[in-house]
């Protein structure tokens, strides 16, 4: 690890939680340079919903490279982009009854969030953006302004005068949609009529906080009534993580703008898009531009993985796995002597522990026995389980049994510590 300490910035983070040098990966397994193998229940923070190096995606990518397919083309029309747009429309938009134009933004999620905020402000001529407690939307200026966790902000580089935070669903012991409505309708609330609200239907970094379908519908209705645009940031929870391709499908809402990234390419290749209702596509040509908007290699793998969604058995299989994991985790928790509450939607599972220290200890103990799980939540107190949607059941069982091992280790250490104190 010395080379990283010598040459890489202090800003590095995940390599501190998982301090080995990784070398190869396949499916849900990552192997380090010593040949030690780990089960990956982190999946690149939701960027690897189809696992590592999926064979069908790898095959498509290799044959595209082999034929000297265009790799970089700015936003020029390419065969790969044409195939992606057609497949996306046929396998995702049309079956969901959605009519969206697609904008390719810079490659990261935060690039796409910036574009969404710009577009909302341009369309409405208004500046204020409403964001929600515990929301995470990225760390560039505009996106950081609507990201809630103070750990990411520093007064020297954060300007957030046009963003206002409203409690997310479940944050307060009352219906926070009522509170939002009051702020919007009461002209003495101090809130300028917002250009947009931006939200995650399930907050990933914020702790697997799940908005109810009814709350999402209320927010949609309030936005409609007041001409506020609704942006759903589906960067982490989209592309199948919650069991449907989009996280908002169960709520039956249609956001005005959707942001997708992470698992869109399916292979870990960076690509981000905005989806916007056609009448909202008010950009002038080149008004929001950039060198790496849409990467052709990502188009190729995205086209390939989107085909999975045309197969109803794929969706059914993801739901069956979700039920299996939920039931197994409940059984595990009943056997472990630690206060943990559990919530999930689809293949996004959150185990809320009593503190960031406990969650970190569990993540470390899990790594010791060969399982990669990360923490999230305001204090890092929630363990986030993000297995690949494509992971076989036996692999899931193996990963969950490693999780149980780690939980017992930390429970035993906690009991020992308490005895030491008393």
- Closest residue by beta carbon to ligand PLP: 109
C-alpha distances (whole Å) from 39 to each of 29, 33, 57, 256, 393 are 5, 15, 20, 38, 13
Which residue, 38 or 136, is less far from ligand PLP as judged by CB?
136
Max intra-chain CA distance, the chain: 70
DSSP summary character for residue 385: E
Which residue, 108 or 296, is less far from ligand PLP as judged by CB?
108
Which residue, 87 or 272, is less far from ligand PLP as judged by CB?
272
Please state the closest distance from residue 95 (CB atom) to ligand PLP, in A. Answer: 24
Please state the closest distance from residue 109 (CB atom) to ligand PLP, in A. Answer: 2
Which residue, 261 or 322, is less far from ligand PLP as judged by CB?
261
Which residue, 236 or 328, is less far from ligand PLP as judged by CB?
236
The dihedral over CA atoms of 233, 239, 244, 246, expressed in degrees to the nearest 10, equals 30
Asked if 122 and 272 touch (Cβ cutoff 8 Å), the reply is no
C-alpha distances (whole Å) from 78 to each of 33, 72, 103, 107, 185 are 38, 10, 15, 17, 47
Please state the closest distance from residue 408 (CB atom) to ligand PLP, in A. Answer: 30
End-to-end alpha carbon distance in the chain: 40
Please state the closest distance from residue 205 (CB atom) to ligand PLP, in A. Answer: 5
Please state the closest distance from residue 132 (CB atom) to ligand PLP, in A. Answer: 11
Residue 331's contacts (CB-CB under 8 Å, 6 or more residues apart) are none
DSSP summary character for residue 383: E
Please state the closest distance from residue 414 (CB atom) to ligand PLP, in A. Answer: 30
Which residue, 237 or 411, is less far from ligand PLP as judged by CB?
237
Please state the closest distance from residue 3 (CB atom) to ligand PLP, in A. Answer: 24
Q: At what angle do helices 356-368 and 393-421 cross, to 10 degrees?
A: 130
Would you tell me which residues interact with ligand PLP (CB under 6 A)? Answer: 45, 108-110, 113, 136-138, 200, 204-205, 233, 235-236, 261
Which residue, 201 or 328, is less far from ligand PLP as judged by CB?
201
C-alpha–C-alpha distance, residues 385 and 58, integer Å: 25
C-alpha–C-alpha distance, residues 45 and 205, integer Å: 9
């Amino acid at each position: 690890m010395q080379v990283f300490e010598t040459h890489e910035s202090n800003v590095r983070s995940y390599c501190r939680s998982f301090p080995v040098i990784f070398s190869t990966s396949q499916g849900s397994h990552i192997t380090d340079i010593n040949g030690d193998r780990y089960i990956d229940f982190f999946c690149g923070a939701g960027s690897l919903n189809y696992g590592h190096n999926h064979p069908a995606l790898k095959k498509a990518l290799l044959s595209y490279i082999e034929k000297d397919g265009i790799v970089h083309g700015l936003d020029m029309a390419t065969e790969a982009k044409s195939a992606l747009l057609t497949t996306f429309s046929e396998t995702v938009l049309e079956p969901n009854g959605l009519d969206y134009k697609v904008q390719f933004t810079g490659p990261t999620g935060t690039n796409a969030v910036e574009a969404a905020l710009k577009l909302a402000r341009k369309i409405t001529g208004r500046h204020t953006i409403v964001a929600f407690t515990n929301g995470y939307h990225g760390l560039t200026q505009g996106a950081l302004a609507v990201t809630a966790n103070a750990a990411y902000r520093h007064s020297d580089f954060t300007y957030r005068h046009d963003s206002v935070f409203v409690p997310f669903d479940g944050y307060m012991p009352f219906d926070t949609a009522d509170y939002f409505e009051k702020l919007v309708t009461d002209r003495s609330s101090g809130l300028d009529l917002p250009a947009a609200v931006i939200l995650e239907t399930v907050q990933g970094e914020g702790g697997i906080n799940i908005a109810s379908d009814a709350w999402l519908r209320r927010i949609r209705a309030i936005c409609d009534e007041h001409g506020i645009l609704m942006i759903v940031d589906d960067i982490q929870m989209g592309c199948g993580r919650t069991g449907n391709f989009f996280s908002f499908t169960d709520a039956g809402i249609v956001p005005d703008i959707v942001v997708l990234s992470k698992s869109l390419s399916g292979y870990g290749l960076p690509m981000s898009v905005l989806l916007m209702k056609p009448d909202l596509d008010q950009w002038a040509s080149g008004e929001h531009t950039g060198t790496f908007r849409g990467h052709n290699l990502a188009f190729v793998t995205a086209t390939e993985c989107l085909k999975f969604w045309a197969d109803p058995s794929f969706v059914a299989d993801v739901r069956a796995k979700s039920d299996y994991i939920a039931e197994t985790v409940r059984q595990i928790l009943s056997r472990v002597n630690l206060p943990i509450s559990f919530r999930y939607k689809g293949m996004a599972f959150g185990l809320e522990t009593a503190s960031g220290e406990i969650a970190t200890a569990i993540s470390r103990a899990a790594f010791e026995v060969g399982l990669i799980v990360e923490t999230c939540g305001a204090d890092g107190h929630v363990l986030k389980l993000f297995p690949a949607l494509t992971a076989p059941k036996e692999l899931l069982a193996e990963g969950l049994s490693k999780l149980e091992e780690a939980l017992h280790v930390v429970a035993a250490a906690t009991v020992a510590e308490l005895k030491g104190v008393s």
